[in-house]
Structure 1
Amino acid sequence: MALISYRALAFALAPFVLVGTSGLGSAWAQTALSASPASSVTNALPDLVDGKRIFQPAYFNDITPQTAADMVARIPGFNIDDGESVRGFGGAAGNVLIDGSRPTSKNEDLFSILGRIPASNVEKVELLEGAAAGALAPGKSLIVNVIRKADNKASGKWEVQATGVGSGRIKPKIDTSYTSKLGGFNITAGLQAEIENVEDFIGFEGILSPADVYTERGPNDDRRRSKYAQATLAVDGKIGETKINANASYLEGKFRRKWVHVAYRPNATLPFRVDEGKEDGTTMRWEIGGDLERQVAGWTGKLALLAKATEDQNSDLAGFNPVGQAKNFGRFVADSTNEERVARLTFKKKFGAHQIETGGELAYNSLDFVGQYAEGDGTIFVVRPSDISSTEVSETRKEAFISDSWTLSPKLTLESTLTGEWSTIEQSGAAGKERSFFYPKPRIKAAWKPKVGWTYRVEVERVVGQLDFGSFADSASVGDNNQNSGNPELRPEQVWSSLIGVERRWGKRGVINASVVQEKFEDQLTLVPTRNGGVALGNVPEAERWGYNVSWTIPLSALLEGLELEGNYRWRDSELIDPITDKARPFSGWNGRNFNTNITYEIPKKRLRMGAWYWRGNNNREFRPSQTFHWDTIQNWGAWIETKAYKDVSVELGVEDPNGATFSRVRTDFTPDRRSGVISQTQYRERSKDGIWYLLVKGIF
């Protein structure tokens, strides 16, 4: 195992050293190190009381927020986390609550839900830490709780956006919602529609010999289009002493892609091969969820119910055909239905310095999959037999837990949780079988505040991952001429995750967070060879990942009033024993480094904001038994300006990569596989896409 280097650790701690150093100049030191202003100042950082900071609406006056999403995005040192994409409800929790309850939805992101709450209906926003956060959302060290006014007024919001690309096409988007009272209940209806993607990727690709000489090359053209529409409905209120929340959503989307690559031999004027293909896909997705909450024998009881389904139909066609010869195409057609049903019952009660929560969850997930790989001339196709081309997979999972959020002292809090998970996976078809698992999932988190503005955190937990049921059946990427077999022997990966973190807050908005993480995997998922010479997703016994995160919000008012710098940097490294070469290598498909930062300048008196941002990352690698793929680092940047000078209306104009962006991929083929180290050929692909501009106009009514 490789350990975190001193250099990496020094990088993670450098911001704290800078903030604590007087050598930055007296003006900067005065801004950065001053104690938190008194909470009587309406726009000061609220004092921390019993693990809670209460942000009154006046705190957000300088940005004139229209929705709760605008307000939450303004909380310093807080980033919205939608939770993990896992089965069930408890493990998929995000870090935002509304009136003390998490939204009973897994299809919708938290930012969209908050975007349907008018700012005028928000009474206050709470930022909770340590045991205060764990008491409302076990497992979360930092959460936001949006409290709405009891006398919500009927109101709505609308948003229209036009996004243009260099080719001249314009992508429209509309997003509108309306909240009203009916019979004592708040009712919010929303509608979204967007032409999401009109990207054209233009470039070239070629094949290099082991001597690094092009044996063929030529232009490529990859055009992608997608669109969707979604309707939502949410209802909340009280019947007697019972608090009720309910929501529903329905979405339909379409995707299509058409690509072509023309290959020329060296010094030739006519092509010798034309590669071409197309993809078509449709998605239908619905969800219904809700919860009931009331006092039961001195405990707060809550029953949450959720039902959701997704139906996908996809067709992927590709051919690599020499000019003048009969054409041959490969086609993979798949039709799948994913369903999930969840019921979760919890009870919580405060006992002195302890907040106890206990309960259980029952979840059912299923996949009905039909897939066919066929070959033909583009019109007539013959299906190739497959032993797992059609299958049904289902999982029944039960979970019981108990958690304790304990305030040992005003400076020290401790949260501990013990969860037991029982699951049974059944699969029908030629590879049908049934398997059962049991996993204990302990978690412990501690937060220590030795003095004002400083917080230290330690977290240790065991996480059980989510199996993608699609991996139990055959799949194909015909554009890369790759097929994956299904694997009925898959086991969920388990991770022991450890984190040590430190946070420094100062002034109204200054905050720096740094953390070091260590993750030990059991049954980590990666591509492995099968006995019939194919490739399938499988488990390797052990793997490890480690690294650090740094994020910052730094006011630069010492330089210019209203100037602020935000950003984050994530560094990861990883290691597993490759099932092909028996040697150590990084994880497949994992991007170890991401950096993004943005600088904003606000002039509240003129209701004007502007900024610029920069992002760098996506240095990904993928390993197959006979191939490796490497995607080069990508860089993006953009700038924007926003005015709220018009009553109840915001106008924002922005650009992203105005000169376009270029990215590349290298695919290396080995003979007979990577174990030999013998390279048969290398494919280099380079593509560019146009820059974009956008005009966003939104308002409230």
Structure 2
Amino acid sequence: MDLPPQEIVSVELIADQSGEEVCVAECPAPVGGVGGGSDVVSYPLAFFAEMWPSTARDMVDRVPGFKLDEGGGARGLSGAAGNVLIDGNHPASKTDSLGDLLGRIPAGQVERIDVIRGGAPGIDMQGKSVVANVVRKGGDTLAGVVDLASVIVPATDRKRVSLDANVSRRSGASLFEGSVEFDLGDGGDHAFTDRHRGLDLEVPAFKSRIVRQRENRELSVSAAYERPLLDGTVRVNGNFFDRHHSGTEFENFEAPTPGQVRETSDVKTPQGGEVGARYSVTVGESKNLDTVFLHQWRNKTETVTSENRGDVSVFEKSETTKETVASLTMSMQPRESLSLETGFEGAYNVLEGTSSLLVNGIDVEVPGANATVEETRGELSAVLLWQLQDQLSLQSALRYEASSLIAPLAKTNLQFAKPSLLLSWSPASLTQIRLRAAKEVGQLNFNDFLFSASLSTGIVTAGSGTLRPTQTKLAEITFEQRFWEEGVVTASARHEELSDVIDLAPVYTDTGFYDARSNIGSATRDVFEVSSTFPLGPVGINGARIEFNGQHYRSAITDPATGEVRALSGQNPYRWDIAFKQDVNKWRMNYGVTYASGFSRIHFRSAGREYRYIRPYITAFAEYQMTQSLTVRAELLNLTGRNFTKIRDEHTGVRNISPLLYIEDRTDDTYRRIQISLSKAFN
């Protein structure tokens, strides 16, 4: 191996079934990859040998200090992109999750994973400060992964079975990928809910226990084909899904009328799909042209029926959503240390939906019963990535968008400039400091334009008449320190200035007032995050590590109903988890246990608040490599049997000036669960 002596630890080589030598014991420490600078760390397949991964997802999860990000809620393809590339490209899909795509790539097809920290010339970071690039092997291969999993809830008849089958066939420069996923049953952990409602919860006016029965069925089929075309490469992909979720809820009252039963049933049937294409071609010696097209659609119906002592309420909702996106990007790399990128993206989104609420056959008029929403958007972008020195890199981008939004009550023309800047400095080979400043624009949720109703709580939320997307200006500093072979500590602090925040605000009608999604003004938010991987091999516990992740949030906004300054609705002040995991190579197994903190959130409405508490919980797993291609995994979920508590207060009007109507306490008891999985890989 052509590595400096200080980079080599002891190496043991054996031959696999093909006769090729692979590293299975202590492997070379990660080395610089793309660009040759300290901003890129490469992890070859040999690095993961002791971990016995089945898929690229398993490998990404084991990259020291890296956490998979499925993608954010910002507008455009760049905003929806996650932090993992496949062969240098972001997937041309928004229906398939990034985790699912990685789970379809057998580990044996991966040559290496490059972690790009702060940016590297020729790599499209899409606004992320750290991305991982999964580089696949070439050559003729036929590979696949079949996963069979079952969730069992002891002492009940609940169970869930899922089957995922994935195949990949590469022939020369052509590649075919296909997958089928099927999920049946209910493996949820909710046992029952105790509900108390009244002005005095010690002597409640209503007291009941709620039990549920659910049935889920999901089918998803995906395929992709890639081949050379003219002087470039074309890739087409498609996805179709069909889901059916149904359930029945029985509420058995102890007070005020013992023996009274309220029955609520619901049926949801989402169905849809996506087609996409990417064409990439090299123009000249240093220019690349990348064209992406995708179209996705979804049809969803929902029916909820509640019957209580002859009173019948029915809520129905039907919606059709479509999105079409096309982009054209030209990138060039005039020097090894410099890359430039310009592009255009156009998008068209539409929602057509209806909602209705009937109480004993009488239609309840709520704003937002019918909505047609259309959005047309165009965006120009320019991105510069400059490796100033081996220790210093700069990523700068300017995106400018113009859009037209046709909502039920208004047509709005919007324009936003979205600059971003990322400066990465590595004062030492294992140390990096990143400074980031950006303006981001969030994506609108078109469902906010339709009214919704919860028959179990009696809360009705009106549909919005018009909305502007939330804009965020942020400044962030991140410190990353790597140590030993797998050790890393990352700490970041971020300050955000938000405008046009979307939250609930009162809407007054002739029959009273409702809450509706509205732009309620500006807010500030501070975020502190720490993550670390601490290997225990140097202290005598080979193959073991401790992983920690923690976040703390602090925010302030003026409540639209009361005028009081409060935190953002639904924000969790803090959350953390710590895990011990170990790979035992001689037994061909790995195991671990995770402790996750509980958390609390407050959701604000005009007439009340809802406090949500989730207790801490523990999970554990053990995975055994039965053969080179067959793995069995057992997971013990929710070992602590954690509870969920929701306490809601309801007032006769705006909560700070109106009398209290009642307090409701809902405590969900949960089951412990066992999941057994078999994974078969073939090459």
TM-score > 0.5 by shorter chain: yes
Aligned position for 2:17: none
Q: Secondary structure at the match of 1:587?
A: coil
Q: Which residue of 1 is the match for residue 405 of structure 2?
A: 425
Identity of aligned residues (%): 25
Structure 1 position 509 matched with structure 2 position 486: yes
Q: 1:374 to 1:184 in 2, by over 3 A?
A: same
User: What residue number does 2:351 align with?
Assistant: 367
Structure 1, residues 89-143: CA drift from partner, whole Å, max 9, x if none? 1221111111111111111112211121122222222111223178322312211
Instruction: Give the aligned residue type for 1:390.
Output: N
Aligned residue in 1 for 2:464: 487
Query: Unpaired runs of 5+ in structure 1?
Result: 1-34
Distance 1:155 1:672 in 2: 62
- What SS does the corresponding residue of 2:120 show, helix, strand or coil? helix
Structure 2 counterparts to residues 334-349 of structure 1, below 5 A: 334-349=317-332
Q: Name the residue aligned to 2:159.
A: 170
Match of 2:117 in 1: 129
Cα 1:274–1:694 shift into 2, 3 Å: same
Paired AA for residue 206 in structure 2:
E
Please point out which of 558, 562, 580 is paired with 1:581. Answer: 562
Which amino acid letter does the alignment assign opposite residue 89 of structure 1? L
Report the counterpart of residue 263 of structure 2 in structure 1. Answer: 276
Partner letter of residue 580 of structure 2?
A: I
> Which of 532, 539, 558 is the matching residue for 1:552?
532
**Are residues 1:667 and 2:640 paired?**
no
Contact 1:36/1:507 (<8 A) preserved: no
Specify which of 29, 35, 41 is matched with residue 45 of structure 1. Answer: 29
Asked whether the equivalents of residues 173 and 192 of structure 1 are also in contact (C-alpha less than 8 Å), the reply is yes
Task: Please report how far the alpha carbon of residue 572 of structure 1 lies from its aligned counterpart in structure 2 after TM superposition.
Answer: 0.5
Q: Deviations for 1:3-44, whole angstroms, at most 9, x for unmatched residues?
A: xxxxxxxxxxxxxxxxxxxxxxxxxxxxxxxx9734896623
Task: Give the aligned partner of residue 180 of structure 1.
Answer: 169
| Alignment deviations for residues 307-353 of structure 1 (CA, whole Å, 9 cap, x no partner) | 1011110012234x4xxxx5222221011011000001001111333
CA drift at 1:641: 1.1
Cα distance, 1:650 vs structure 2? 0.4
Q: Is the 8 A contact 2:596 2:616 kept in 1?
A: yes
The answer to whether residue 362 in structure 2 is matched with residue 382 in structure 1 is yes
Aligned equivalent of 2:553: 572
- Which residue identity is paired with 1:434? K
Shift of 1:285: 1.9
Structure 2 partner of 1:330: 313
TM superposition shift of 1:196:
5.8
- Preserved CA contact (<8 Å) 2:74 2:441: no
Please report the TM-score for the alignment, with normalisation by the length of structure 1.
0.89
Bigger shift: 381-390 or 64-73? 381-390
Shift of 1:284: 0.5
Q: How far apart are the structure 1 equivalents of 2:584 and 2:450?
A: 56
Q: Partner of 1:92 in structure 2?
A: 80
Task: Within 5 Å, give how 1:207-222 maps onto structure 2.
Answer: 207-209=197-199, 213-222=203-212
3-state SS, counterpart of residue 114 of structure 1: helix
Higher mean Cα deviation, 174-183 or 340-349? 174-183
CA distance in 2, matches of 1:572, 1:659: 26
For residues 292 and 397 of structure 1, the distance between their equivalents in structure 2, rounded to whole angstroms, comes to 22
CA distance in 2, matches of 1:623, 1:222: 27
Which residue in 1 is equivalent to 2:668?
A: 687
Q: Which residue does 1:609 correspond to in 2? A: 590
- Residue 604 of structure 2 corresponds to 623
Aligned twin of 1:242: 232
Aligned length: 652
Asked whether the equivalents of residues 633 and 678 of structure 2 are also in contact (C-alpha less than 8 Å), the reply is: yes
What is the aligned partner in structure 2 of residue 411 from structure 1?
A: 391
Choose which of 417, 420, 423 in structure 2 pairs with 1:446. 423
Residue 15 (structure 2) aligns with:
none
Residue 401 to residue 659, structure 1, CA distance change in 2 (3 Å): closer
Report the CA distance shift for 1:685/1:385 in structure 2 as closer, same or farther (over 3 A). closer
Q: How does 1:522-533 map to 2 (within 5 A)?
A: 522-532=499-509, 533=513
The 8 Å contact of residues 216 and 263 in structure 1, kept in 2 or not, is answered as: yes
Counterpart residue type for residue 642 of structure 1: E
- One-letter amino acid matched to 1:364: Y
Contact 1:198 1:223 in 2 (8 A): no
Partner of 1:31: none
- 1:150 maps to a residue whose letter is G
Query: What is the CA-CA distance between 1:386 and the residue it aligns to?
Result: 4.4
Shift, 1:182, TM fit: 5.7
| 1:4 match | none
Once residues 387 and 696 of structure 1 are traced to their aligned partners in structure 2, the CA distance between those partners, rounded to angstroms, is: 47
Measure, in 2, the Cα distance between the counterparts of 1:78 and 1:610.
Answer: 19
1:17 is aligned to none
Q: Does the 8 Å CA contact 1:292/1:302 hold for their aligned counterparts?
A: yes
C-alpha distance in structure 1 between counterparts of 2:545 and 2:120, whole Å: 29
- Which residue in the other structure is 1:15 paired with? none
1:289 aligns with 2:276: yes
Q: Kindly tell me: are residues 98 and 659 of structure 1, through their superposed partners in 2, closer, same or farther at Cα, counting changes over 3 Å?
A: closer
Change (3 A) 1:131 1:36: farther
- SS of alignment partner, residue 59 of structure 1: helix
Matched, 1:229 2:219: yes
Give the partner amino acid of 2:388: L
Indicate if the aligned counterparts of 1:631 and 1:665 stay in contact, CA closer than 8 A. Answer: yes
Of 256, 262, 280 in structure 1, the residue corresponding to residue 252 of structure 2 is 262
What is the CA deviation profile of residues 133-191 of structure 1, one whole-angstrom value per residue up to 9, with x for unaligned ones?
Answer: 78322312211111212204112111111110121332111111111246851101111
Relative to structure 1, the CA distance from residue 264 to residue 64 in structure 2 (aligned partners, 3 Å threshold; closer, same or farther) is closer
| Aligned partner letter, 1:416 | S
CA distance in 1, matches of 2:80, 2:481: 28
Match of 1:591 in 2: 572
After superposition, the C-alpha distances for 1:369-421 in whole angstroms (9 at most, x for unaligned) are: 01111112xxxx33334453122111000000101111111111111111101
Letter in 2 for 1:571: H
Residue pairs, 1:136-155, within 5 angstroms: 136-155=124-143
User: Retained in 2: the 8 A contact 1:317–1:479?
Assistant: no
What's the RMSD between the two structures over aligned residues?
2.1
Aligned to 1:463: 440
Tell me the residue number matched to 1:77: 65
TM-score normalised over the length of structure 2: 0.92
CA distance in 1, matches of 2:590, 2:88: 32
Aligned-partner residue type, residue 626 of structure 2: A
Which residue is 1:197 aligned to? 186
> Secondary structure of the equivalent of 2:456?
helix
* Equivalent residue letter for 1:282: T
CA distance in 2, matches of 1:233, 1:649: 24
Gaps of 5+ in 2: 12-22
SS state of the match for residue 214, structure 1?
Answer: coil
* SS of residue matched to 1:111: helix
Matched AA of 1:459: R
**Aligned-partner SS, 2:258:** coil
In the TM superposition, what whole-angstrom CA distance separates every residue of 1:288-318 from its partner, at most 9, and x where no partner exists? 1121011235421100001101111001223
Which segment is superposed worse, 60-69 or 566-575?
60-69
- Describe the shift of the 1:40–1:449 C-alpha distance in structure 2 as closer, same or farther (beyond 3 A): farther
* CA distance, structure 2, for counterparts of residue 264 and residue 67 of structure 1: 51
* In structure 1, C-alpha distance between the alignment counterparts of 2:387 and 2:681, rounded to whole Å: 42
DSSP-derived class of the 2:119 partner: helix
Matched-pair contact (CA < 8 Å) for 1:591–1:617: no
Q: Structure 1 residues 316 and 590, CA, compared in 2 at 3 Å: closer, same or farther?
A: farther
Specify the alignment match of 2:449 in structure 1: 472
Are the aligned partners of 1:670 and 1:681 in contact in 2 as well (CA < 8 Å)? yes
Moved more, 565-574 or 120-129: 120-129
- CA 1:69–1:387 in structure 2 vs 1: closer, same or farther (change >3 Å)? closer
Alpha-carbon distance between aligned partners in 1 of 2:658 and 2:212, rounded to the nearest angstrom: 32
Q: Which residue of 1 aligns with 2:19?
A: none
Shift of 1:46: 1.6
